Amino acid sequence: MKRIVVGKVAEIPVGGRKIIVPFRGRAGIGIFNVNGSFYALRNICPHKRGPLCTGEVAGRSSTTAPPSLTDGFVGYEREGEIIRCPWHAWQFDIASGECLVDPDLRVKTYPIIIDGDDIIVDVDVSDFVAKG
Amino acid sequence: MAQTIDKLEQIHIGKKGAAPIAAPGWAGKPADRVTLVDCDVHHNFHDPHQLLPYLPKFYQEHLLDQGLHLPGAGYANTPFRRTRPDIKDPALQERDFNFSLEFTQKELLDRWNIDFALLTGPPVFLAVAGLPDPDWAAALVTAFNDWTIEHWLDRDPRVVNAILVAPNDPALAVKEIQRLAHRKDTVAVMMPMQTPDLFGKRRYHPIWEACAEHDLPVVSHIGGGSPGSTPTPVGFPSYYMENRMTRPSVASAQAASLIVEGVFEKFPNFKVALIEVQQMWAAPLMWHMDADWKAIGDQTPWLKRLPSEYFREHIRIGSQPMHEPPQTEQVYQMLEMLHADETLIFCSDFPHFDWNDPVTVLPKLDERMHRRIFAENALDLLRISDDMIEAVVA
């Protein structure tokens, strides 16, 4: 394993992100701060290879029944925990990398370590592509 | 000891363009011929006031008083209030709806090695088809075409135009075609697909005749309509997803109308492309029409050939949004059933959220099929001359 400092904690506030390229290939990775926890995702969507990490961080709407007079209030949940790919808008759970609209898909995640002010990503040595 | 990487702002996806070279099944050399034609590139104005210099004073006043005053109960094809979030223009501080040629060059033409991009305008603007005042509709499309000429066409040989016409008064649509047909970069005519009446009706024949006269195809994009023209025969759907599901039925109705009313008997060199309506509807339409022609063709005796033959010769289908069936094998079956080597033209729908890039839109194809879908079908359809081709591949 190789540990790479990718930024400072203060750079990425809650709800923010930093995209680092090149990193494990040209597309890079995205580092996200979800409610104080940091996560790293590969910046390639497993659906159509779009730049997933540049998508919108949001939540999703939720309800228990179709709209009706007495039921079916449409709420909104998991604000800030979900990213939508900019191509085709498929949703992914930032923490786990799971695709929320297709259980067969998952985007690669990387372990993150916070060491003081440093955000550190753990990668295989073979994953690391040096700049230039 | 941890290593530090500098922050880079730029996101790199793909290599130098998506590149026919990298595309599945591709074996051609991009430099020596046209390899990629995109038949659906939505260019847009940032503010309707940009059209003011192209309107007569009378209609400038109208725009200032009424705005575009476009009708419609349709849906913008831009959920989440935006186009592709990965390509916003920092200078605009908002999502870019493709407001400038520079943006198209950077994000589409250069990145994906596109040889020709057919401009198709902002889809909401197709609602001119439902304007009650046909003269206002005609003034608006004329202004839009002139704005397009100045800000897009005169500046890049890769950018070609489907001139927008308003079908409200067909005589005014003919006038607009006659006004711009002489321009080399006029390679097609854009008709909104949701028109007040079906395409085969005789009121529209003068438009098709003018197109045929100038060897211009019609490219018809879903959109248009009017408050009285519902996207289904049983009214308006409640939700955007339902609305999207109505598109194939609109395309199917327009294709059947064109064929059965004998438009292609009347204008043998006239062609129509139906885009952003999916694809698979066309296969059962051809089969069903052929079966009916054998049984009840006596009721439309002006149809001298099988309806599917008119379809394959005269109607083209846009590749976006492409079906994603559960098994890859089903894609190949679909392409065969559609006669995709004759009928399918690549459309990206740039810059919308549901666009298709040229690399992942289809699985690996044999070289001939690849060339037909991504370049040759479009080159056969659009009025693109040899010197225009030389200008982009040189």
For B42-58, how does the pLDDT look when each residue is reduced to its tens digit (9 = 90+)?
A: 999 988 999 999 999 99
Contact B354 A3 (CB under 8 A): no
Its CATH class, for the domain covering A2-61+73-125, is mainly beta
**Chain A residue at shortest CA distance from B3:** A4
Q: Report residue B135 as tokens.
A: 């003269």
- From the list B149, B234, B170, B221, the residue with the least C-alpha distance to B192 is B221
Mutation target vs B (from A1, A11, A20, A21; most B CBs, 10 A cutoff): A21
* Number of cross-chain residue pairs from A and B with Cβ atoms under 8 Å apart: 84
Q: How many CA atoms lie within 13 A of B315 on its CB side?
A: 29
- Which residues 6-45 of A are in CB contact (within 8 Å) with B? 6-7, 18-23, 26-28, 43
Q: Which residue has the tokens 């186009």?
A: B83
- Looking at CA atoms only, how far is residue B14 from chain A in angstroms? 8
Looking at this protein, which amino acid is placed at residue B341?
A: D
What is the reported pLDDT for B19?
Answer: 32
For B2, the closest of A27, A28, A118 (CB atoms) is A118
Contact A20 B84 (CB under 8 A): no
Chain A residues touching B2 at Cβ < 8 A: 3-5, 115, 118, 120
Q: Report residue A33 as tokens.
A: 């701060």
For chain A, say whether B81 makes contact (Cβ under 8 Å).
Answer: no
SS3 assignment, position B264: helix
Chain segment B167-182, per-residue pLDDT in tens? 999 999 999 999 999 9
Contact B13 A26 (CB under 8 A): yes
**Chain B residue at shortest CA distance from A114:** B2
For A26, the closest of B3, B12, B86 (CB atoms) is B12
Element housing B38 (H / E): strand B37-41
For chain B, say whether A87 makes contact (Cβ under 8 Å).
Answer: yes
For A21, the closest of B11, B15, B355 (CB atoms) is B11
For chain A, say whether B24 makes contact (Cβ under 8 Å).
Answer: no
Chain segment A1-54, per-residue pLDDT in tens? 678 898 999 999 999 999 987 676 678 899 999 999 999 999 999 999 899 998
Residues B171, B206 contacting (CB under 8 angstroms): yes
What is the reported pLDDT for B92?
Answer: 47
Contact B8 A118 (CB under 8 A): no
Q: Which residue has the tokens 């799971």?
A: A98
d(CA B273, CA B381): 8
Integer distance in angstroms from the first to the last C-alpha of chain A?
Answer: 22
SS3 assignment, position B353: coil
Contact B2 A49 (CB under 8 A): no
Chain segment A74-116, per-residue pLDDT in tens? 899 999 999 999 899 999 999 999 999 999 999 999 999 999 9
Kindly list the averaged pLDDT for each block of 10 residues, start to end, along chain B of length 394.
Answer: 39 32 42 86 93 97 91 65 64 65 89 92 89 94 97 95 96 98 98 93 98 98 78 85 92 97 98 97 98 95 97 98 95 98 97 90 92 96 96 82
d(CA B344, CA B362): 12
Residue B31 makes CB contacts below 8 A (sequence gap 6+) with: B393
Break chain B into its structural domains and give their ranges: 25-393
What is the reported pLDDT for B89?
Answer: 54
Q: What is this structure's pTM? A: 0.88
What is the reported pLDDT for A131?
Answer: 41
Chain B residues touching A7 at Cβ < 8 A: 7
- From the list B224, B191, B39, the residue with the least C-alpha distance to B125 is B224
In the DSSP assignment, the letter for residue B376 is: I
Q: Report residue A76 as tokens.
A: 């909104």
Chain B residues touching A56 at Cβ < 8 A: 80, 82, 85
**Chain A residue at shortest CA distance from B88:** A54
CATH label, B25-393, candidates 3.20.20.140, 2.40.40.20, 3.50.50.60, 3.20.20.190: 3.20.20.140
d(CA B54, CA B63): 11
What is the reported pLDDT for B196?
Answer: 87
Provide the phi-psi class of B218: left if phi over 0, else alpha when psi is between -120 and 50, else beta.
beta
What is the reported pLDDT for B4?
Answer: 44
Chain A residues touching B84 at Cβ < 8 A: 86-87
ipTM of the complex, rounded to two decimals: 0.76
d(CA A53, CA B214): 47
- Assign 3-class secondary structure to chain A: CEEEEEEEHHHCCCCCEEEECCCCCCCCEEEEEECCEEEEEECCCCCCCCCHHHCEEEEEEECCCCCCCCCCCCEEEEEEEEEECCCCCCEEECCCCEECCCCCCECCEECEEEECCEEEEEECHHHCCCCC
Chain A residues touching B6 at Cβ < 8 A: 131
Break chain A into its structural domains and give their ranges: 2-61+73-125
Mutation target vs A (from B6, B10, B11, B350; most A CBs, 10 A cutoff): B11
- Helices B57-66 and B134-151 sit at what angle, rounded to 10 degrees? 100
- Using a 10 angstrom Cβ sphere, with 0-12 exposed, 13-18 middle and 19 or more buried, the burial of residue A52 is buried
Element housing B40 (H / E): strand B37-41
What is the reported pLDDT for A132?
Answer: 36
Residues B280, B338 contacting (CB under 8 angstroms): yes
Residues A19, A42 contacting (CB under 8 angstroms): no
Contact A4 B11 (CB under 8 A): no
Contact A4 B3 (CB under 8 A): yes
Q: Going by DSSP bridges, is the β-strand pair A118-123/A112-115 parallel, antiparallel, or unpaired?
A: antiparallel
